Copies of this chain bind each other. A is one copy, B any other.
Amino acid sequence: MSSAPGTLTRRALLAGVGAAGGAGAMFAAMGALGLAPDSQDRAFTPPQRSDFSLTGRGAAKVVVLGAGIAGLTCAYELGKAGYDCTVLEAADRVGGRNLTVRGGDRLTEFGGETQTAEFGPDVYFNAGPGRIAQWMVTMDYCRELGVPLEVFVNGNASAYVRTHAMDAPVRVRTARADMYGYIAELLAKAADAGALDRRLTGEDRERLTEFLRRFGDLGPDLSYRGSPRRGFTVYPGYGSGEPLAGPPPLGEVLAAGTGRALTADFGFEQAMPMFQPVGGMDAIVRALVREVGEERILTGAPVTGVRNLPDGVEVTYSGGPGGSGGAVRADYCVATLPPHLLARVPHNLGARVTAALRTPTPVAAGKLGLEYGRRWWETEDRIYGGITETDLDITHIWYPSHGYHGRTGLLVGYYNTGAEAELYGSLPHHERRARALTQGKKIHGEKYRAELRSSVSVAWHRRPHVEGGWAVWPSYGGAFTVLQQPAGRVHFAGDWLTHLVAWQAGAMESARKAVTALHQRVLAVS
């Protein structure tokens, strides 16, 4: 038996196992919780016009900095109660990192050339967020706003795994069957040999063995010798099919390093199924803009100053409709810019706020969209959506979760972060593309390069008015909590101010909190 640290605790926890019989109190408690709806935070009640009806006082004027998901959600929720919102957006488009690129769209990075997307009419590229988990509040906004959803295939048994340790890619179903088969065999045989007798009652062992037989598709002798789960060269049909060669010996399966790929969808944010708006992620942006009112949003208007005044706030900006900048006076402000950009805007919110804004670190992130004139991944590789996981510098290849069997389609040729995103981001677009094609060829062969029709890449850390894929906190400590509070009349919001950094749901949750706090202040003053 194990003598690893923590064994005593474990033993103490397991002490009651034998006596428990069937599924006991703990499962019952879990089940009861399971019956209760889970959610991010159901406590939110949107402000509404009737909140003001007894006081006779109207809603306040609010200036929102940034027309990303956080800013638009703030303006949308405040608008429900009649708040007079103005949204200032530095870029010449709304949406922030919610960016769906279509044919004709132009992208410019710091020090980079301008790319113009040459995609065909039905092709789009979600260059920013691409997927939504079922429990996320993003689902609720899609429902409320009438944004139709479809499944985003976040894991596909037919996609590949490709690591440096492999000479060639292997399908996820094959890698999974082999790994599960061998670990089931190892554990079942160890249990059978009595190696776990101090941990398992006789009944436990029987149940464990029954589970492992299923889990690994083991033979009667508890050995793994392959399984139809691995896949076939010719699948059963009129004939019984031709199984794949294999399985490789245990040592080879372990050496292949498929662990990250096989567990990629285990996390609570990544579990299948996930979802995406039909037609592109920016359907959410369009719906929010429709509700907020386009006339309330000033694009091309970078904020140049934020000042708390005794009875309000003043925000100045350059550019804007007239091109010569201006100022917005309001009762309150919600600042949703990325923290590292907001830290650079002159303000009178104090040094503590500046220091807090400088605390999270922006993360490099890059994505490449590759348009092909035919969907060879479907017709030849039989991969309909999903992700090939690699330990190459492209990290993943995403296959499109829409437009199945269409004439054309777009793959995500890389979605990487950190050093790999820095590496690709430092190159001009044509070199990013060339590098990614060389990597993808290791999985899909020459067609991956030869049949490319067009491409677009984005390096989020090099994109003006964003300068990062997202921002991470060294800890959820002081600086984080400083900014979860307003600084005078300036409230802060954004995914960066939540425990859901990099998710639209984070931006929305944060917006809800800021709106609630702001509305309560307004009601208290009334």
Contact = CB atoms under 8 A, between A and B. Distances in A.
A341 interface: no
Contacts of A352: none
B20 A404 contact: no
Interface in A17-63: 17-18, 20-24, 26-41
A520 interface: no
A408 to B, nearest CB: 14
A2 to B, nearest CB: 3
A230 B27 CA distance: 13
Contacts of A361: none
Contact of A250 (B35, B199, B234, B509): B199
B237 A505 contact: yes
Interface string A361-390: 000000000000000000111111110000
Contact of A167 (B31, B222, B240, B513): B31
Nearest to A274: B384
Given A189-B4, A221-B7, A234-B41, A382 B33 contact: no
Interface stretch (A205-213, A281-289, A429-437, A452-460): A205-213
* Most interface-central of A6, A40, A41, A248 (chain B CB within 10 A): A248
A256 interface: yes
A275 B382 CA distance: 12
B235 A135 contact: yes
A105 interface: no
A524 interface: no
A488 interface: no
In the A-B complex, list the 6 residue pairs whose CB atoms are closest, starting with the nearest. A31-B168, A17-B251, A2-B189, A6-B221, A157-B271, A26-B248
Given A20-B252, A214-B259, A238-B510, 5 more contacts: A24-B248, A134-B156, A139-B382, A183-B183, A187-B187
